[in-house]
Amino acid sequence: MNLATKDIGQSLGRFVLTTLGVGMLLMVVMAMGGIYRGILEDATLLVNEIGTDLWIVQRDTRGPFAELSRVPPNLVHRALAVPGVKSSREFVFHTVQRERRGKPFRMAVLGLSWPSDKGDWIPLLAGRPLRQNHFEMIADASLKIGLGEKIQLGKETYTVVGVTHDMLASGGDGIGFFTTADAQAIQFDVPSEAVRLERSSRAARGTRFELAAKQPSLLEFANLPAAELPQIARPQVSAVMVSVLPGAEVQQVAKIISGWDDVSVFTRKGQRELLLEGTVEKVRRQIGLFRILLVVIAAVIMGLILYTMTLDKIHSIALLKLIGAPNSVILGMILQQALMLGALGYGIAFLAGRKLFPLFPKRVILADDDLLMLAGIVLAISVLASLMGIWKAMKVSPNEALA
């Protein structure tokens, strides 16, 4: 007969409720580790998936993910002329927040350098990559925009031609993939009244120039869209991505480009480290502190529970001592109960987490290493928590059975 299971059977309801409480607490600890893994994965997702060798950004910035970066689009052609460069393409990335169906709608917008990049590298659940330069998009499933649906952004309407999954920005927002031209149109969209006022302002400034007085036809340009005016440069892009030729030295190409005074250049590894050391670092520390705090709380709670359970059977322990039962039997009973409490709580945490974590607004990734480490921590907590009950049991006198 196992004394631990026999004793649990005497107060089964309380043990079950206690196990559920410990399981929920351990589930929160498990969720903290999963949230950190999710943040880490989201922060480095685009750097890993795009797979480019070098990122060219604005001078003295850490863009395009860590901060705002603006470079001229003709930088694509400058980079392509560098020895060892295989290809270069534009990169546009920003976040928009609109209202859709009466609710806030937030989306990260990523521009694909059409036609060299049509989104063939994006893992699709349904649909296809982009096939035209305008008015098509690929949406992440978290945005809840179905295949074939239309969404209005700015003055244009875009049709969802593909649906992907787990393509999230570092803030947890789903990514919408557009061509670079469409992404810039969304980014620099202004109200119609603002356009009218700007054109009127242009015309007013033009009348003050002597050349306009001699050639009044020049004022007709004031009413043209800004994109059609030769004096106004194309909208700037967030960065330029460079892929090097097989066999070429990435560091050598980066050294050449870094000599340009208007840009900074980072390798894929360098861009990843910037994200982890900047965007994710404070979150990592905060989640780490929460995990430590919750583990300590779990240890204290389990210790108090086992101590209380020991107090409830003081008479039984004294009786066992009175009839000559060795201390190892009593110690084994308390330790087995502690291990059962920890093991069942861990099992509840794992099973409940598998059901609940997909419902969280941010991704929760359960890594095998984290689960094994938590299992070891729970084992250690169970053993340490049993010491309070063991200490109390050792102080029980056999004479208390006769009281």
Q: What digits encode the pLDDT tens for the residues 18-48?
A: 888 888 888 988 888 888 888 888 777 888 8
Range of the domain at 348: 3-42+281-402
Shared-domain flag, residues 114 and 230: yes
**pLDDT above 60 (res 55):** yes
Q: What is the mean pLDDT of residues 111-122?
A: 87
**pLDDT above 70 (res 2):** no
Query: For residues 129 and 119, what is the distance between their CA atoms, to the nearest angstrom?
Result: 5
Assigned domain for 175 exists: yes
Most confidently modeled of 152-161, 168-177, 221-230? 152-161
Model confidence at 147, pLDDT cuts 50, 70, 90, reads very high
Across all residues in the chain, what is the average pLDDT? 81
Shared-domain flag, residues 331 and 387: yes
Percentages helix, strand, coil for the chain (3-state, rounded to 5) are: 55, 20, 25
Does residue 64 have a cis bond before it (omega within 30 degrees)?
yes
Shared-domain flag, residues 296 and 219: no
Query: For residues 312 and 319, what is the distance between their CA atoms, to the nearest angstrom?
Result: 13
Rounded (5°) CA angle 374-376-377: 60
**Which two structure tokens, joined as six digits, stand for 193?**
């009244």
**Which two structure tokens, joined as six digits, stand for 53?**
């060798």
Taking a C-beta distance cutoff of 8 angstroms, is the pair 112, 179 a contact?
yes
- Supply the pLDDT for residue 350: 92
Instruction: Between 263 and 394, name the one with better pLDDT.
Output: 263
Which residue from 112, 113, 152, 115 is spatially nearest to 135, judged by alpha carbons? 152
Assigned domain for 274 exists: no
Q: Which of 221, 237, 269 is the last residue of a domain?
A: 269
SS3 207: coil
- Supply the pLDDT for residue 179: 93
What's the one-letter identity of residue 173? Answer: D
Assigned domain for 276 exists: no
Shared-domain flag, residues 23 and 87: no
Model confidence at 1, pLDDT cuts 50, 70, 90, reads very low
Instruction: Between 272 and 255, name the one with better pLDDT.
Output: 255
Taking a C-beta distance cutoff of 8 angstroms, is the pair 29, 291 a contact?
yes
Taking a C-beta distance cutoff of 8 angstroms, is the pair 397, 318 a contact?
yes
Taking a C-beta distance cutoff of 8 angstroms, is the pair 109, 92 a contact?
yes
Q: What is the mean pLDDT of residues 330-335?
A: 75
- Supply the pLDDT for residue 128: 93
Q: For residue 296, give Cα distances in angstroms to 26, 133, 134, 291, 346.
A: 11, 56, 55, 9, 16
- Supply the pLDDT for residue 16: 82
SS3 356: helix
Q: What is the mean pLDDT of residues 197-215?
A: 63
Assigned domain for 59 exists: yes
- Supply the pLDDT for residue 232: 56
Q: What is the DSSP string of 380-392?
A: HHHHHHHHHHHHH
Instruction: Between 227 and 142, name the one with better pLDDT.
Output: 142
Most confidently modeled of 37-41, 133-137, 292-296? 133-137
Q: Structurally, how many domains does the chain consist of?
A: 2
Instruction: Between 375 and 279, name the one with better pLDDT.
Output: 375
Q: What is the DSSP string of 84-135?
A: TEEEEEEEEEEEEEEEETTEEEEEEEEEE-TTT--STTSPEEEE----SSSS
**pLDDT above 50 (res 335):** yes
Shared-domain flag, residues 349 and 221: no
**pLDDT above 70 (res 276):** yes
**Cα 210 from chain centroid (whole Å):** 57
Shared-domain flag, residues 191 and 215: yes
Q: What is the mean pLDDT of residues 252-267?
A: 89
Shared-domain flag, residues 29 and 61: no
Shared-domain flag, residues 222 and 362: no
